[in-house]
Structure 1
Amino acid sequence: MFNAIKVENLSKAYQLGQIGTGTVSRDLERWFARIRGKEDPFLKIGETNAQNSKSTSDIVWSLRDINFEIEQGKAVGVIGRNGAGKSTLLKILSKITAPTTGKISGQGRIASLLEVGTGFHPELSGRENIFLNGAILGMRKKEITRKLDEIVDFAGIERYLDTPVKRYSSGMYVRLAFAVAAHLESEILIVDEVLAVGDAEFQKKCLGKMGEVSKGEGRTVLFVSHNMSMINQLCSSSIYLKNGMLELYSSTKKAIDSYLAESTATAHKNLEIVFNENESDENVQLNVFKMEAHFENSSDFLSSKDVNVQFGFKIFEKVLGLRIGFEIVSPSTDLCVFRTFHDDDCEEMLAFEPGEYILSAQIPKDLLNIGEYFIYPTIGIHNIKWLSFKTHQLHLNIINIGGVNNLYSDERPGVLAPKINWNINHGKI
């Protein structure tokens, strides 16, 4: 088995702010170093891509000293936080951008799907773009024609095939782009987070196709996603990037465990978020979102006790139909466990007068299974708008202690483990 992709000492540096070193003499020094094959003298060593920290340099390393090999026919996931360098890596592998140092090698043609509409000409129809993409991959017209019906059927856009793609919705764009990338004759398929635009049914269809491409056709798949369940289902091994560096290249389970452990460590352990004024709008200012701890300075919560959640907010002008709530997400699957709002049991929209309010809710005991969760605040005004706070999360770790509080004698699968009432009687139904 040969390597489809080999990456050696790969680094990519970007200059922040205006391009240039600041003086003509330094620009000439940089140019002279380049023509002699020497390293850029103004790329400072040790500047990693940490978005939440300041730096003394205007050079940032989006990737730094990356080394790995991928065998033909393997499906490999790429995971990491936003800004970790995932998309930069895929752009270099797709030859969209060049590395600053290091090299990549491999065998086979590459079909990449990095952004909505990648490789499409907006003025051309869907049909014409299929032939254009095939030609770029070096396919003959007869080969593309043979695949055309299969591509159109998979994308489900037959009615709009001869319409200019600039009139497509983002979902239609992705359906056609994925169908083209997956069905045309390429040895390596690279897919970025773009599938998140599609609906759940199409995502499942794409996942099945990528598995078929990898296992059935022996083609190599490189897949970036924040959806850990998708990565786990498709990929046997994964690359975990952190601040532009290769943290781990191992089995998917080990990579995901390492990534989630890091995500949990950076979550809000103080169980309270205080919001800035610039995060409000003309109607409402969310001041505080918090949970009442079961243990001092800990995000551990007993499954046998309710979890109290509180909102502190201010209303500037009278508002009708305000909905305040939260959603709980399982980080291991990236799936929403449930979402709830304060007016779920109200038949009519509620009106809030100007003033300050405290809103409380309880997550019932014996509902969530043992494990870790993220909880996000959600605010909306009915049929008008939503205020999303996905960048703000509290960490919720449901535990049992010493068997005393165990509801069940065995370990239960799933994210919910509710206590269900059962009755048993003699007789027939």
Structure 2
Amino acid sequence: MAKAIKAEGISKAYQLGDFGTGTVSRDLERYWARLRGKEDPFLKIGETNDRTLKGESDIVWSLKDINFEIEQGDAVGIIGRNGAGKSTLLKILSRVTAPTTGSVKVKGRIASLLEVGTGFHPELSGRENIYLNGAILGMRKAEIKRKFDEIVTFAGVERYIDTPVKRYSSGMYVRLAFAVAAHLESEILVIDEVLAVGDAEFQKKCLGKMNDVSKGEGRTVLFVSHNLGSIRQLCSSAMLLSNGNLLTSGPVEDTLSQYLKSSITNGSLDNYKYQGTMVNNVKFVEFSINNVIDKEAVFSPSETLTIRVKYNCITYLPKFRVSINFYKDSILISTIHDKSWPAELKEGEYSATFSIVGNFLRPGNYTIGLGGHDGDPISEGKDWLYLDEVYSFTITNEWSELNDFSGRGLVNIPKII
């Protein structure tokens, strides 16, 4: 199959603070190098783009030596934490900005939706912006006119189509922008994390359209999202970025699994950031399932899960209770609590144990949030604390006699007799 996109050695450097070199002669030398397509003679070595660390240089590499190929008709998810370089990569592929080094070869026209209002002029009406976007993509007026009614119907903004888009809500804006990008006849569709602005019904509609565009029309789709469920639903492969580097690319399940594991430090809870009102009352020390505390935790559907939490009580608590949240693709599946409640705690070391007989979780990758509260959470209100994503694990895809499961849904139903 033909290559739709080929990236070789893409790097992007940004200068923090002042942009000048300090002298007019050096500024002219830099300008002359750019005109000839040469590398900036005053570009410093720079640093990795880690937003959590204080840097020593004023040059930051948003992307560093990225190489990949995408086949025509592929739907590829791009994932990673905030600041990983995802949006910068899409801007380079969309030719909004140029790479500092490296090259990108693209076969076909690109329709991109990188942020709310991309390519829209606020003073023009929705109708005028549809024609403007089509013209930018190189389409003839007759081609745009043929798609016009379909775009307006999909966006659901018929009543406001002749109103300047500056009066649109953010949801209406992104509806029309996505409809334009998806329906105009481009070979490559690039979508950044903007669909979150729309409501749930529209997000579902967008995912269905992108699936049709990729599988039905054979167009290439690049999709950035923090919603792992959407990535899994739409994409067959994915790329994982971290601090401007491409960590891995390949089948979507393998890439999502590595992302979940790379974002979590299992076992010791020393460096986690606490949320809530009890940060000075309780200190969580360790978390494990079946005595496994490393990142490669894998369990079968029929395996009993024994969860242990070690924690220290710093100040007296009259009614403390530990709670555990299970997440799949950022969706909260269930919450379980320590049954030994209410527990009166004095200063000292404690542990809580939970045993789940017959796993209720279906095959897939999961993360766990760990918390606790003092007082009845319903009738008394509560003081609370919480740690997000303290543990990741995988339930294998195999049959279990303890559960009636066909591989669908979020949880297993206990065997019905």
TM exceeding 0.5: yes
Q: How does 1:135-174 map to 2 (within 5 A)?
A: 135-174=135-174
Which residue does 2:5 correspond to in 1?
A: 5
Which residue does 1:351 correspond to in 2?
A: none
1:328 aligns with 2:322: no
Which residue does 1:352 correspond to in 2?
A: none
- Superposed CA deviations along residues 362-408 of structure 1, whole A, max 9, x for unmatched, are 988458638632327799xx9xxxxxx99x624145799xxxxx994
Secondary structure at 2:47 match in 1? coil
Q: How does 1:394-413 map to 2 (within 5 A)?
A: 394-396=389-391, 408=402
1:373 aligns with 2:373: no
CA contact (8 A) 2:147 2:184 kept: yes
Secondary structure at 1:116 match in 2? coil
Deviation for aligned residue 1:227: 1.7
- The 3 A distance-change label for structure 1 pair 257 and 397 is closer
Poorly superposed stretches of 4+, deviation over 6 Å: 299-302, 306-314, 324-327, 361-364, 376-379, 409-412
Percent of aligned pairs sharing the same letter: 56
Q: How does 1:156-195 map to 2 (within 5 A)?
A: 156-195=156-195
CA contact (8 A) 2:90 2:190 kept: yes
Q: How does 1:5-404 map to 2 (within 5 A)?
A: 5-24=5-24, 26-35=26-35, 37-45=37-45, 47-265=47-265, 269-270=268-269, 273=272, 275=274, 287=280, 291=284, 293=286, 298=293, 328=325, 330-331=327-328, 333-338=329-334, 365=356, 369=361, 372-375=366-369, 393-396=388-391
Give the letter aligned to residue 373 of structure 1: T
CA contact (8 A) 1:269 1:394 kept: no
Q: d(CA) in 2 for partners of 1:311 and 1:116?
A: 46
CA contact (8 A) 1:12 1:100 kept: yes
CA contact (8 A) 1:11 1:61 kept: yes
Deviation for aligned residue 1:54: 3.2
CA contact (8 A) 1:12 1:62 kept: yes
Deviation for aligned residue 1:159: 2.3
Q: d(CA) in 2 for partners of 1:84 and 1:163?
A: 37
- The 3 A distance-change label for structure 1 pair 297 and 143 is closer
Q: d(CA) in 2 for partners of 1:304 and 1:240?
A: 30
CA contact (8 A) 1:271 1:395 kept: no
Secondary structure at 1:206 match in 2? helix
Q: d(CA) in 2 for partners of 1:86 and 1:191?
A: 11
- The 3 A distance-change label for structure 1 pair 270 and 107 is same
Question: With structure 2 as the length reference, what TM-score do the two structures score?
Answer: 0.75
CA contact (8 A) 1:337 1:415 kept: yes
Q: d(CA) in 1 for partners of 2:220 and 2:394?
A: 40
- The 3 A distance-change label for structure 1 pair 328 and 48 is same
CA contact (8 A) 2:333 2:410 kept: yes
Deviation for aligned residue 1:412: 8.6
Deviation for aligned residue 1:244: 0.8
Q: d(CA) in 1 for partners of 2:63 and 2:106?
A: 19
CA contact (8 A) 2:306 2:353 kept: no
Deviation for aligned residue 1:61: 0.6
Question: With structure 1 as the length reference, what TM-score do the two structures score?
Answer: 0.73
Aligned length: 375
Deviation for aligned residue 1:210: 0.8
- Superposed CA deviations along residues 4-47 of structure 1, whole A, max 9, x for unmatched, are 21212111100112222344454345345445554323333362
Give the letter aligned to residue 390 of structure 2: H
- The 3 A distance-change label for structure 1 pair 309 and 399 is farther
- Superposed CA deviations along residues 146-196 of structure 1, whole A, max 9, x for unmatched, are 212211211122222222222222222111111111011111100011112
Residue ranges of structure 2 left out of the alignment (5+ in a row): 316-320, 338-351, 379-384
- Superposed CA deviations along residues 110-155 of structure 1, whole A, max 9, x for unmatched, are 1101111111122222222212211221222222222122112111
Aligned-CA RMSD value: 4.1
Secondary structure at 2:264 match in 1? helix
- The 3 A distance-change label for structure 1 pair 376 and 114 is farther
Q: d(CA) in 1 for partners of 2:201 and 2:282?
A: 34
- The 3 A distance-change label for structure 1 pair 212 and 13 is same
Give the letter aligned to residue 336 of structure 1: L
CA contact (8 A) 2:171 2:198 kept: yes
- The 3 A distance-change label for structure 1 pair 339 and 95 is farther
Give the letter aligned to residue 96 of structure 1: V
- The 3 A distance-change label for structure 1 pair 182 and 25 is same
Which residue does 1:357 correspond to in 2?
A: none
